[in-house]
Chain A
Amino acid sequence: MKQVFGRPDALTDVPTHYCPGCTHGIIHRLVAEVIDELGVRERTIGISPVGCAVLAYDYFNCDFVEASHGRAPAVATGIKRVLPDSVVFCYQGDGDLASIGAAEIVHAATRGEKITVIFVNNAIYGMTGGQMAPTTLPGQRTTTSPRGRDVESAGYPIRVAELLSSLSGVAYIARVSATSPANVTKAKRAVRKAFEMQIDGKGFSLVEFLSTCPINWGMSPLEAMKWVDEKMSLYYPLGDYTQVPEVG
């Protein structure tokens, strides 16, 4: 019998620790499928963040490094500069990338580091128990914004894809979600393109996933998917954000 679907080689055969309804699992699979399809598993090095995906090295079946909080793009830079023929990807959450690691992501992007960043934005600190993130929506309740994010005091959420797209070192940026089969298909296409940009030496690439956190959002998995589609996507529109300005 012909096998039409299976576990990608780039994923290990272990259950993940992710919560029910969280899309980390889907995103892991998409990245692993792309690594398989491009045939680069044996020259891929992943970097996991501090946050929910800290143990991503247990789930991906390729060489992996665990970075300190927010520094994955700097660690990736070090690896890629030593091994220019390798495929290096960072897997980061919103607290890791957009808060404590804001400097590292901006500078890796503007240097045009030939790395790929998978940015998982679920608008909250998941691992530490649901505190306000740099991407928490205005009015959104978290354990450190119990009355809802007050932009007067806490400021506004950061739109990472838009922010980084202004930098000349960027080859490709897209914002996607994994809330429906159609969105998953689009997301995979974006992940593949991001890896291809790196392999072709075009520059920095990043795919921002709008992701779910049913546990800390206090929603069912289905409600969480709906919230991504109806609320998050309004503040963070899906699409292609690549705009490499020509510099004379």
Chain B
Amino acid sequence: MGEKVLMKGNEAIAEAAILAGCRHFFGYPITPQNEIPEYMSRRMPEVGGVFLQAESEVAGSNMVYGAACAGARVMTTSSSPGISLMQEAISYMAGAELPCVLVNIVRGGPGLGGIQGSQADYFQATKGGGHGDYKLIVLAPSSVQELMDLTITAFDLADMYRNPVMILGDAILGQMMEPVILKERPKQDLPPKTWATVGAKMRPKNVITSLSLDPVKLEKHNLRLAEKYKRVADEQVRYKTYMADDAETLLVAYGTCARIAQAAVDIARERGLKVGLFRPISLWPFPYDALQLTAQESLRVLVAEMSLGQMIEDVRLAILDSKPVCFYGRTGGMTPTPREVLDEIEKIVEEGI
């Protein structure tokens, strides 16, 4: 058992990266995640690592690309507008199969938007974001402890599958403080990085590129990526349920919104309403089968998001019109209260949906 400390979400991410053996951090300031680069600028020199403040998110994410080419465990963090600027490097890294960890402490959009917590980058994170046929592994923590644990997991998954992994948080998770247990993770059995460009000593040269001018070869490459994504989808689905076994109304929510939804479940249960929660933790791969199974006995599903409704599309794909899928969301950095979610539950129950 490790040490128990009170930490801010953003700092927990940074310390988790250090615990995971990340010794290279490149980033650019943007609210509401500045505690991460600040923490790293202080902490990296202490552990013999490198902190570098890039001239932009574009450059920072390409520094990540370079460090990943050199075989390092590397991370960058940002918030929504900055993550948009990184999409170029993300697509290149997915194409060149480079492991890295990206953190998006999401704020309200579109455009410059605001700085309050939001879940409006779900599409960008899970459906592409950059150009081309590729997938990111996307993990959605809902507590400071989970921010820490999933950040460590993210580094292992990145190395295991040679793929960028994104932690999708939000301003609330990043800014709040909770007790966390710092624990070293047992060393995973990960493939050696024989592909890394570290100098062609006693071996033929290594080349890392996402260029493939021959469409026959590019299709073959993409099909190989598709096989990898299928393997990830088979092996890395993560979710949790709460009082879902007998739920007539099944809430589906992730991240911060799942905490609010869980509070709504508790109040609903006190009022005798059979309400439960399904919380996807891996947003890609999305837990389609698990959700379908969990929702089997429910009469209705209510998706709650801090957006105009993005994850709901995946929920519908899982439920396949077998029952009504309702939505409650707030947008622009507004946060729903448990009471609002409860009101929505009572409304749809009353309407006989």
Which A residues are closer than 8 A to B by beta carbons?
A: 41-45, 47-48, 54-55, 57, 60-68, 71, 74-83, 86, 103-104, 106-107
Contacts and interface: CB of A to CB of B under 8 A. Distances in A.
A170 B211 CA distance: 31
Contacts, number: 132
Interface of B: 24, 26, 50, 52, 54-56, 58-60, 62-72, 74, 88-89, 92, 96, 197-202, 205-211
Tell me whether chain B's interface is mostly helix, strand or loop, or mixed: mixed
Contacts of A41: 200
10 closest cross-chain pairs (CB), A and B = A78-B66, A66-B209, A74-B62, A82-B70, A75-B66, A78-B67, A63-B197, A78-B63, A71-B62, A107-B55
Contacts of B52: 77, 81
Contacts of A61: 200, 205
Contacts of A47: 66
A237 B96 CA distance: 39
B62 A63 contact: no
Given A64-B205, A68-B88, A74 B59 contact: yes
A193 to B, nearest CB: 22
Given A63-B205, A104-B55, A42 B199 contact: yes
B199 A44 contact: yes
Contact of B211 (A54, A62, A81): A54
A63 B66 CA distance: 12
Contacts of A62: 199-200, 205
Given A42-B200, A45-B198, A83-B198, A65 B66 contact: yes
A74 B54 contact: yes
For the residues of A in contact with B, the DSSP-based class is helix
A71 B96 CA distance: 15
A68 B202 CA distance: 29
Contacts of B63: 74-75, 77-78, 81
B64 A78 contact: yes
B200 A78 contact: no
Contacts of A65: 66, 69, 197, 207-209
Contact of A78 (B58, B70, B88, B210): B70
A71 B87 CA distance: 13
Contact of B26 (A60, A78, A106): A78
Contacts of B210: 66
Given A68-B62, A78-B70, 19 more contacts: A45-B69, A47-B66, A61-B205, A62-B200, A63-B198, A63-B206, A64-B205, A64-B206, A65-B207, A66-B207, A66-B208, A75-B62, A75-B69, A78-B68, A82-B50, A82-B66, A82-B74, A86-B70, A86-B199
A3 B202 CA distance: 25
A43 B211 contact: no
A113 to B, nearest CB: 10
Contacts of A64: 197, 205-209
A103 B56 CA distance: 9
A61 B204 CA distance: 8
Contacts of A74: 54, 58-60, 62-63, 65-66
